Structure 1
C-alpha cells in the first residue's frame, strides 16, 4: 500500500471504505506539508537524541568531580553548550568533540559512548578513569583522535579499534593495561601518532608497525618488551620521534640509521641492552634535537661528525663502554689516532644538556667545550680523563650543573670556573688529583646548592673573609666581607680527603690554620717591610739583567758529559699510553719519516715530555731506533736534545713497540719559526736578528761537540730546521739522530751507501756515493744558515 498518493489508496479499497481511507490519506499529506513548510521550528530539537543520552550515561559513571565540571551538564542548557562538548550545526546538529582532560575525574568510560556516531575527537587525558577501554568505540567510525593518556585504565587494547580507518592519533600511555602490542595496529593506515608508554606491555615489537606509512611519532618506552627493533621500523621514513627506552631490547642500531630515518629528531633508546657502535650516519639526520643513548652497552667512540647536528639540544650517552678500546690502539700514517671525546662537540651551539658520564673516555677535556654558551648541565664523571680543567669552561655562562668527579684530572681549579654565577645546583670535582688552593671566588657562588671537592690534593687556607672592594647587598663595600654563598650551607659542602686544607668558618668543620704566620705579620711593621722589599726588588732586577748574559757565556764553554749514574731509564707501553692520552692526535707535535712525536704528561712526577713512537711497519724504523739509542746513550750537551727514557716492548695487541722519550721543547722547532702558519688559535711567530744569531751559535756548538769532543766522533747526517728544537729560553737543541753515523778515529769516514738525508740539505757528495764525514754536516749547517737569514727554503 502506498500512502503518498490518495487515488491509489482509493483504488485499493471498496467504496464502503473510501470515506475512511480518504480521511487518513488527507491527514498524512497535511502532516508532511507542515513538516516541510516549517523547518526552523524543528531544527531547534536535537537531530539525534542518542547523543544526549550517551552523555548522560557518561555523567552517571563519573564518581568524583573535584572541579565541579558536571555542574554545567543540566537540562537548562542544550548539550552542545555543556562544558567540554563541541558540536557542528546546520540542518542537523551533531556532537563531534569531547575535551575533558586535566579535570581529575574518577569513574569509568561507559559503553554508551559508542553511540556518538559522529564523534571525531575524544580527549580524556590526565584523569583517573578506570575500567576497560570501551570496545563500542568501534561504532564511532569518524574518530580521528583517542587520547586516554595518564589514567587508570585496565585490560588489553580492544581489537575492535582496528576498524577505525580514520584514526590518526592513539595516545594510551601511563595506564594499567597489559598484554602485547597488537599487530593489528599496522592496519590503521591513517595513524600518525602512537603512544603506548608505561602500560605494562610484554613480548616483542611487531614488525606490522612498519606498515603504517605516515607514522611519525612512535613511543613504546617503559614497558617489558624484549627482542630487537624490527628492521621494518626503519622503513618509516616519516618517523621523527622513536622512543623505546626502559625495556629489555638488545641488538645493534643499523649503521645507516640516519639515512633510513632522515626526518628523525628525537631518539630515545636508553636503559636497554643495545651493543655495537653509535652509527656515524646519525649526522645525516640533520634535524636531530634530542639523542638519549644512556645505560646500554655501546662501544667504540663518539662519531667525529656529531658536531654537524646544529639543532641538537640534548646529547646524553652516559653509562656505556664508549672510549678507548682495543680497536683504538696505536695507528699510524694511514689514519691518525683520535681522542676519545671529539672536539667537534664544541660546535653544537644550541646544546643545553651534555651527558658523557660513566664511560671509558680518556685524554683531555677539549677546550672547544668553552664554545657551548647555551649549556645548562654537563656530566663527565667516572671516566679516565687527564690533564687540567679547561679554563674555557668559564665561557659557559648558563651552566647550572658541572660534574667532573672521579677522573684523573690534575692542576688547579680555574678561577674562571668558580666565577660562574650561573652555577646554582652542583659543582662536583671530587676524586681527582687537583692541587693548589680553593679559589676564594667560590664564595661568590651564593646560589650554589652543592659543592664537592673531596678526595683531591688541595691545600691552603679557606678564608673567613673576602678582601677587597665588592658589591655587597646592593652596595659597594671596601675591606673585609663575610664569606657567603655556598659556605652558608654546611650540609651542601664536601671537602674531606684534602688533608692540607684548613681554616674557614666553623660550619665547614676544618681545623684552624697555624697562627704563627698571623702573629709574625702583626709583629713586622710596614715601615720595616716596605724598604726591604724595595731593596730586594732592585737587586733582583740587576741580577735579571746580567745573569742571562753571564749564564749563556759560561754555559757555552761547558760541555756536559754523561756520567755512569746518569743513564736513561726504561718505561712501559702502558705508561706511555696513559701519558699521551692514548696517543691522541691532539697531542701530535711532529711527524717524521719513521713515526709520530707526541706530547706526553707523566702523572707520577708531573713531567711534560716528548714521546717519539716508531712505526715499525716502515722499512728501516727498527734500525733508526737502534742508531738513535746508540748515538744518544753516551752523549750529553746543553745544545743536544736530552733523552729521558726508552721503551722496547709490545703493545696490548702483541705487536712490537719502540719509543724514545725526550725532554719537551715548548717553543717547537726552528722550522715553525722560519716558516710560520696562521691558524685560528695561533698568531705567526717571528725571530729577530739576535735570536737567529744565538740559534746559529747554539747549533754550531752542538756540531763542534759531536765532531770533536765525543769519545767517537758522530756525524748527524740530517741537519735541518725541523731537527732544531727550541726550549723556553729559545736555546737551540739538535735532535733526531735516527740516521747518525759513528766515524772511526783512524779513518774519520764511513761508507754512505745506506745514508738517507733530506733533499736540499744533504751534501752533494753523498748522492754520488761519497763517504760520510763531518764535512757533510758542515755543508748542511751552511744551508741552514742561508735559510735562517734569507727566510727561503733550499728547494
Structure 2
C-alpha cells in the first residue's frame, strides 16, 4: 500500500509536466501541418493530384515533397518540390517550419516576392527557388538563416541591390543570384564569406568595379560576373586565387590588360571568358602555365600584337575564341602559333575572325586537330591560296573564310570534308571553276560563293546538296544556263541568289519546286524567255528580283497568288502586255518596279498602285491612267463609230443650254450658300460618321462598368464593349472612347479626331466604326467614338508591363518589334503622303500604337491631329489646342512657335523606335535628371560592346542566347540589326527638322532589317 501511494505521488508530481510535453508536441505538430496547408492554399499544381493528397486523410509527413526528420519524426526537415509545376505565391507561413533544413521550390511558375519570414528558419541549410518568376528585392531578413550553405535565387525577376546580410553567412558555400535584374555594386563584404566555393552573379545589371576583396575567397573555384555593367580592371587579387577553375567576366565594360604573370598562380583554371569588354594589350606568354585550360575566350576586345606560340602548350584546349580584336600576323614567323596549336589534339573550335591577320596561312594549318569542327577566319586580310591539305580536317562542320584576300581556286581536298554544314568563302578573289566535286558536300546547309571570280558554268552536281537552306553565287563570272537541278533542292528556303553573273537561257520551270523559298534574286544576267508561271508555286516568296535581264512576254498573272510577297523588281527587261490588276490585291507588297519595259494599258489605282513611293513604271511608253502623281495620260476607250454622228447634236445642245443657264446657276449657288449658313447644324451625323445612341453604348459597356475599363487619357476614358451587328451578324467587340467634356479642349479633340479620320482608310490606322453625339441619363451632353477593339492592347503595355500583373508579363522578340515599327511607318507614310489630304498626327507614342489579335499595329488617338491645307511638310497651325504632343515624344520645335509639321511626327516616331528597342520611356526620371534617351543611345552606339546593355532586357538576353546557341556569326548579324534600328531612331530625331529621315527611307531601311532578321531565324531553324 505504501508503494502504491508512493507511485501515485510521483505520478501526480510528473503529470503536469507530461501533459505539457503532450501539449507542446501537439502544438508543434499542428504548426507544421498548418504551415503546409497555408502553403497549399496559395499555390496550385498541374496535375492537381500532386497536391491532392495534402489533406487530413493522411499524415503530413507522407505528403508528396514533404520530408520529416529521424530524430524528430513529426517535424518537417525538408520541403522538396522542385519541378512540381507549381503556380501561385510562396506562403509566409513556411517561416514557421522551424526544423526545416532544405527548401527546394526550383523549376516552377511561382510569382510574387520571397517572403521575409523565411529568415526565421535558423536551421535552413539549402534555399533553392531558381527558375521561377519571383519579383521584388531579396529580403534583408534572410540574414537570419545563418546556417545556409546553398542559396540559389537565380533565374527569377528579382530587383534592387544585393543586400548586406548575404555577407553574414559564415557557412555558405554556393551563392547563385544570376539571371535576375539586380543592380548597384557588388558588396565588397562578400570577401568575408571564406567558405564560398562558387559565386554566380552573371546576367544582372550590376555596375561599378569588381571588389578586390573577392581575392580573399581562398576556396573559390567558380566566379561568374558576366553580362553586367561592371567597369574598371580585373583586380590583381583575382589572378592569385589558385583554386579557381572558372572565371567569367564576359560582356561588361571592363578595361585594362592581362598582367604579364597573371597565369602563374592559376594552375587549375579551365575556363576563362573575357569576351565583349574593353581589354587591351598583348596576350601574355605566361598563359602556358594554365595547363588545365579548356575554354579561352577573349573575343570582342582590343587585344593586340602577335599570339604567343606558348598557347600551344595548352594540351587540353577545346575552345579558342580570339575573334574581333586587333591581333596581327604579317610575316611567316607571326603565324607560328598555328604550328604550336597542332599540339592541341582536343581543339574543336578556333575563332580568329575580325582581326588584322595578313600574309599567307602556313601549311601547318592543315595539321591542326582532327577534332576541329569550327574554324572562323572571317574578315581579315589573309592572302594566298586556301591550304591544299585542308581536307585533313575531316570533322569540320563550319568553315568561314569569307572577307579575305584568298586567290587561286578551291583546293580539291576541300570536297573531302563531307561533314561540312556551313561553307563561307564569299568576298575573296577565288577564281577558276566550281568543281563538280562540290556535290560531295551533301551535309551543307549554307553555301556562300558570292563576290569572287568564279567562271564557267554552274555544276549540275549542286543538285546533290539536298540539305541546302541558302545558296549565294552572285557577283561572279558564271556563264551558261541555270541548271534545273538547283530547283529540286526542296530545303532551299532562306535565299537563292544568282545575280550579277553572265547566266543565259530560260529560267527553269522547276523553280516552282522551291515552295519554301523566301528570297530569289537573279538580276543582272542574260536570262531570256518568259517568266515561268510556276513561280506562283513559291507561296512563301517575299523577295523577287529579275531586273536587268531580257525576259519577254507578259507579267505572269500567277504572281498575284504570292500572298507573302513584299518586294518585286522586274525592271529593265522586254516585258509587254498589261499590268495584272490583281497585283493591287497583294496586301503585303511594299515595292514594285516595272520600269524600262514595253508594258502597255491602264495602270491600276488601288493597293500598292496608290502609293507613288512604292511603285515605278517609268519608261513604258504605252501606259495610261493610274493615280495623278504618276502623270500618265488618261486612258481613252474608243466608242463604236456608228454612234458618233448621233452624239454631236446632243453635245452641242447641252453646251448651249449650259452657257445660257450659267448666270442663273451661279446666283442659285450664292443664295444656297447664304441660306445654308443660317440653318442650324444637323445632328444626324458628325463629319461623315453615322451615329449610335447613348443607350446602345450603355448596354454595350455594361453601364460603363469598371470591369470594362481599358484606360483613361487627357480627353477621354476608353471602355471595352460588345455591340450587336446587323441582323444575323455576330456580336462585335469594340472600344468606346467617352469624351471628358468637362476637360478644356475635349470637344475640339473630338472634332479633330472625327475630321482627321473621316476619309482615311489604311490597314495600320485604327478604324472608327461609329460615333455618339447625344445626352446622357442626367441630361448632360455626351460624345463618344467607337473603334475596332484591339485585343492585344497598346505597345506601351507590352514594353512596360505592370510588375504586379502576371497577365501582363509579356515579351516581344526583335522581329516582332521591327514588324510593329514597320506597321507604324506605313501608317505615317499614308497619313503624310498618300491619304486624301496630308494629316499630321501630332501625338505619336507607344500608348497610341494598338495591336490587334494578329499583332498588327494600328495608330490611334487622333485627338490632336491636324489636316494640312497644302501638300507640304510644314504648315503653321491655326488651332487653339496649344502645345501639341506629349513631353518626351514631341519635337523640340513644337515647344517654340507651335509649328505643326510632318517632321514633328518623324521625331516622335524616332523616339518610339528608341523606346521600342531600349525598353525605356523617354519620360523616365533618370532622363530628366541627366542624359536624354537619345543621348544615352548615342553613347551606346559609339561602342559596339555597349549595345547589349542599351537594349531592353528580353532583347539583350535573346542576343546573348543567340551567341551561346547559334554562334558568333548569328549574334553579330542580329546585333547589326539592333544597331541599324537604333540609328533609324537617331536619324529621325535630328535637331533640324529637315535633316530627319523621310517615311519612304524609313520603310526601306526597316524592310532590309526585317529581311536580315528572317535570314537569321531561318539559319537557326
Mapped partners of 2:506, 2:288: distance in 1 = 52
Counterpart of 2:308?
Answer: 303
Mapped partners of 1:414, 1:341: distance in 2 = 23
**Uncovered stretches (5+) of structure 2, i.e. residues with no partner:** 78-99, 468-482, 512-520, 529-1021
Mapped partners of 1:275, 1:213: distance in 2 = 28
Counterpart of 2:353?
Answer: 357
* Secondary structure in 1 matching 2:108: coil
Q: How do 1:272-421 residues align onto structure 2 when only pairs under 5 Å count?
A: 272-324=277-329, 337-339=333-335, 342-370=338-366, 371-421=368-418
For residue 153 of structure 2, the aligned residue among 144, 148, 153 is 148
CA contact (8 A) 1:457 1:500 kept: no
Larger helix percent: 2
Mapped partners of 1:349, 1:502: distance in 2 = 50
1:136 maps onto 2:141 in alignment: yes
Deviation at 1:349, TM superposition (A): 1.8
Counterpart of 2:451?
Answer: 455
Mapped partners of 1:365, 1:487: distance in 2 = 37
* Secondary structure in 1 matching 2:286: helix
For residue 489 of structure 1, the aligned residue among 488, 492, 495 is 492
Mapped partners of 1:278, 1:136: distance in 2 = 45
Deviates more, 1:215-224 or 1:92-101: 92-101
TM-score normalised over the length of structure 1: 0.54
CA contact (8 A) 1:459 1:498 kept: no
Residues 1:462 and 1:186: Cα distance change in structure 2 (over 3 Å): same
For residue 264 of structure 1, the aligned residue among 259, 269, 289 is 269
Mapped partners of 2:267, 2:334: distance in 1 = 27
* Secondary structure in 2 matching 1:122: strand
Deviation at 1:139, TM superposition (A): 2.4
1:29 maps onto 2:14 in alignment: yes
Deviation at 1:147, TM superposition (A): 0.9
Residues 1:196 and 1:389: Cα distance change in structure 2 (over 3 Å): same
For residue 116 of structure 1, the aligned residue among 115, 118, 121 is 121
* Secondary structure in 2 matching 1:113: helix
1:174 maps onto 2:188 in alignment: no
* Secondary structure in 2 matching 1:128: coil
For residue 437 of structure 1, the aligned residue among 433, 437, 441 is 433
CA contact (8 A) 2:378 2:400 kept: yes
Deviates more, 1:415-424 or 1:247-256: 415-424
Q: What do residues 426-446 of structure 1 show as CA deviations (whole Å, max 9, x unaligned)? A: 211011110111122323434
Deviation at 1:159, TM superposition (A): 1.6
Q: What do residues 437-477 of structure 1 show as CA deviations (whole Å, max 9, x unaligned)? A: 1122323434422211111110111133589xx9999xxxx
* Secondary structure in 1 matching 2:170: coil
Deviation at 1:250, TM superposition (A): 0.4
Mapped partners of 2:282, 2:325: distance in 1 = 11
Deviation at 1:144, TM superposition (A): 0.7
1:213 maps onto 2:210 in alignment: no
CA contact (8 A) 1:296 1:320 kept: yes
Mapped partners of 1:337, 1:419: distance in 2 = 29
Counterpart of 1:241?
Answer: 246
Deviation at 1:88, TM superposition (A): 3.5
Counterpart of 1:785?
Answer: none
CA contact (8 A) 1:462 1:502 kept: no
Residues 1:73 and 1:360: Cα distance change in structure 2 (over 3 Å): farther
Counterpart of 2:71?
Answer: 90
CA contact (8 A) 1:340 1:361 kept: no
Deviation at 1:135, TM superposition (A): 2.7
Counterpart of 1:194?
Answer: 199
Residues 1:472 and 1:258: Cα distance change in structure 2 (over 3 Å): closer
Mapped partners of 1:460, 1:260: distance in 2 = 59
Deviates more, 1:396-405 or 1:52-61: 52-61
CA contact (8 A) 1:367 1:393 kept: no
Mapped partners of 2:426, 2:12: distance in 1 = 97
CA contact (8 A) 2:338 2:365 kept: no
Deviation at 1:340, TM superposition (A): 6.8
Residues 1:131 and 1:373: Cα distance change in structure 2 (over 3 Å): same
Mapped partners of 1:306, 1:503: distance in 2 = 55
Deviation at 1:375, TM superposition (A): 1.8
* Secondary structure in 2 matching 1:259: helix
Mapped partners of 1:250, 1:318: distance in 2 = 17
Counterpart of 2:654?
Answer: none
Deviation at 1:337, TM superposition (A): 3.8
Deviates more, 1:355-364 or 1:388-397: 388-397
Mapped partners of 2:27, 2:171: distance in 1 = 26
* Secondary structure in 1 matching 2:453: coil
Counterpart of 1:423?
Answer: 420
Residues 1:276 and 1:226: Cα distance change in structure 2 (over 3 Å): same
* Secondary structure in 2 matching 1:126: coil
Deviation at 1:363, TM superposition (A): 2.3
CA contact (8 A) 1:459 1:499 kept: no
Counterpart of 1:596?
Answer: none
* Secondary structure in 1 matching 2:131: coil
CA contact (8 A) 1:315 1:353 kept: yes
Mapped partners of 1:155, 1:471: distance in 2 = 53
Q: How do 1:526-537 residues align onto structure 2 when only pairs under 5 Å count?
A: none
Q: How do 1:638-717 residues align onto structure 2 when only pairs under 5 Å count?
A: none
Larger radius of gyration: 1
Mapped partners of 2:452, 2:465: distance in 1 = 31
Deviation at 1:346, TM superposition (A): 2.7
Deviates more, 1:452-461 or 1:83-92: 83-92
Deviation at 1:199, TM superposition (A): 1.6
Mapped partners of 1:117, 1:485: distance in 2 = 69
Residues 1:119 and 1:77: Cα distance change in structure 2 (over 3 Å): farther
Residues 1:25 and 1:219: Cα distance change in structure 2 (over 3 Å): same
* Secondary structure in 2 matching 1:232: helix
Residues 1:52 and 1:286: Cα distance change in structure 2 (over 3 Å): farther
* Secondary structure in 2 matching 1:295: coil
CA contact (8 A) 1:455 1:496 kept: no
Deviation at 1:321, TM superposition (A): 0.2
Mapped partners of 1:428, 1:280: distance in 2 = 32
Residues 1:77 and 1:303: Cα distance change in structure 2 (over 3 Å): farther
Mapped partners of 2:397, 2:27: distance in 1 = 59
Deviation at 1:175, TM superposition (A): 0.8
* Secondary structure in 2 matching 1:125: coil
Q: What do residues 156-179 of structure 1 show as CA deviations (whole Å, max 9, x unaligned)? A: 222222221111111111112221
Deviation at 1:338, TM superposition (A): 2.9
Deviation at 1:239, TM superposition (A): 0.8
Q: What do residues 498-544 of structure 1 show as CA deviations (whole Å, max 9, x unaligned)? A: 65899996758485799xxxxxxxxxxxxxxxxxxxxxxxxxxxxxx
Mapped partners of 2:58, 2:505: distance in 1 = 77
Residues 1:200 and 1:247: Cα distance change in structure 2 (over 3 Å): same
Q: What do residues 153-205 of structure 1 show as CA deviations (whole Å, max 9, x unaligned)? A: 12222222222111111111111222110111111111111111122111111
| Structure with bigger RCO (C-alpha 8 Å, 6+ apart) | 1
Deviation at 1:391, TM superposition (A): 3.1
Residues 1:42 and 1:351: Cα distance change in structure 2 (over 3 Å): farther
Mapped partners of 1:461, 1:502: distance in 2 = 12
**Uncovered stretches (5+) of structure 1, i.e. residues with no partner:** 1-18, 330-335, 474-479, 515-795
CA contact (8 A) 1:503 1:512 kept: no
Deviation at 1:24, TM superposition (A): 9.1
CA contact (8 A) 2:439 2:461 kept: no
Counterpart of 1:685?
Answer: none
